[in-house]
Structure formats: structure tokens, C-alpha cells
Amino acid sequence: MTRLAAVPNLGWQEHAACRDANPSVFSPVDDRGRVDLDQARHVAHTWCAGCPVITQCRTSALVLGAQEIVQAGAWWPLSTSRNPEPVNLLDNLDGMDAA
């Protein structure tokens, strides 16, 4: 089974709050090219907080291995980083570390 096949249904993406957003905003970096968590939190609150498909989006992030991106209200670091766990950028997500 491919990783994509493991995602139950990609039709949910049509309902994503961010479907017309510039993808670059989901990879916020500072002047030194490091993740800007304040900006990441702003992006999560702007787009993900009210998104009707956040659950499907989080499943997709887990199955496909999101890295170095804001997705489903979290920052997903490189899998090889010192702490590879996703960082919760919203207040109402269970199962993730608070940022």
C-alpha cells in the first residue's frame, strides 16, 4: 500500500480553509532561515483554527509524514530533528505538546 493510499479520502481538500492560500505562508522562517513559531502560530490561527477538515488534515500529516510545515494547527518539524514531535499551535488540539 502506498502512503497516499493510506489516506482515507483526499476529497476533503476541496473543503480546506486554505485551499486558495499561498502555500509559502505555511513554511514561515525568520531572517536566518529558521522556523518562526510566532508566525507559524499566526498562520495556524488564521487558517486552521476554523477549518472544517482539520481532523482529515491531521490524519494526512501523520500518514504522509509532514515535515517543516504548518498543517492541521501544528508545526511539523523534520523527522531527524532533536524533537521530531509536532508542536501544537492552537489551544484546542489534544495529543500534541503545547507550544
Sorted by sequence, the CB contacts under 8 Å of residue 36 that are 6+ apart come out as 28, 29, 30
Q: Closer to ligand SF4 at the Cβ: 15 or 32?
A: 15
Q: How far is the CB of 30 from ligand SF4 (least distance, A)?
A: 21
57 binds ligand SF4 (CB under 6 A): yes
Q: Does 40 bind ligand SF4 (CB under 6 A)?
A: no
Q: Give CA–CA dist 8/97, Å, rounded.
A: 25
Residues in CB range of 26: below 8 A, 6 or more apart: 18, 43, 47, 69, 70, 71
- Cβ atoms within 10 Å, residue 9: 9
Q: Which is nearer to ligand SF4, 12 or 82 (CB)?
A: 12
In this chain, which stretch among 1-9, 14-22, 33-41, 80-88 interacts with ligand SF4, using CB under 6 A?
14-22
Any contact of residue 72 with ligand SF4 (CB under 6 A)? yes
In the complex, which residues of this chain contact ligand SF4 (CB under 6 A)? 16-18, 47-48, 51, 53-54, 57, 71-72
